Amino acid sequence: MKPCCDRMKEELERTCAHGHAPSECPDVLIAYVAKVDEFGIRVHDGASSMVRISFCRWCGARLPESKRERWFEELESRGIDPHEHEVPTKFRSDAWYPQTQPKN
Ligand SMILES: [Zn+2]
Ligand SMILES: [Zn+2]
């Protein structure tokens, strides 16, 4: 995944300086879930929830389509139930789908 702009890159690389978990730190706003290619704004409710965003809030670029459905389909086609079986390493990162360039 290539960030659409420097600001997004900066936000994605932002880490907590006070020892919070990323899901709890008020400084860490943007989350990226590589395995399903989803960007989101973190909701600091103590869990790892986020509100998915479709456009970059800084440069306006359209962010990738979520691959969540395809992720489940691909696993299902291999007879893997992610709730019951161990998810193969490839499917825990962005290694299972072709990389695309962000479009402005
Ligand atoms: Zn923090
Ligand atoms: Zn951007």
Looking at the domain assignment, is residue 104 inside a domain? no
Alpha carbon distances (Å) from 28 to 17, 20, 79, 81 = 10, 10, 36, 31
Ligand nearest to the CA of 29: 1
For residue range 41-69, list pLDDT tens digits in order. 988 776 668 899 999 999 999 999 999 99
What's the one-letter identity of residue 46?
A: G
Q: What pLDDT does residue 96 have?
A: 96
For residue range 1-44, list pLDDT tens digits in order. 889 999 999 999 988 888 887 778 888 889 999 999 999 998 87
Q: What pLDDT does residue 45 have?
A: 73
User: How many separate domains does the chain show?
Assistant: 1
Backbone angles phi, psi at 95, to 5 degrees: -70, -15
Looking at the domain assignment, is residue 28 inside a domain? yes
Ligand 2: centre distance to CA 29 (Å) = 14
For residue range 75-90, list pLDDT tens digits in order. 999 999 999 999 999 9
Looking at the domain assignment, is residue 103 inside a domain? no
Looking at the domain assignment, is residue 101 inside a domain? no
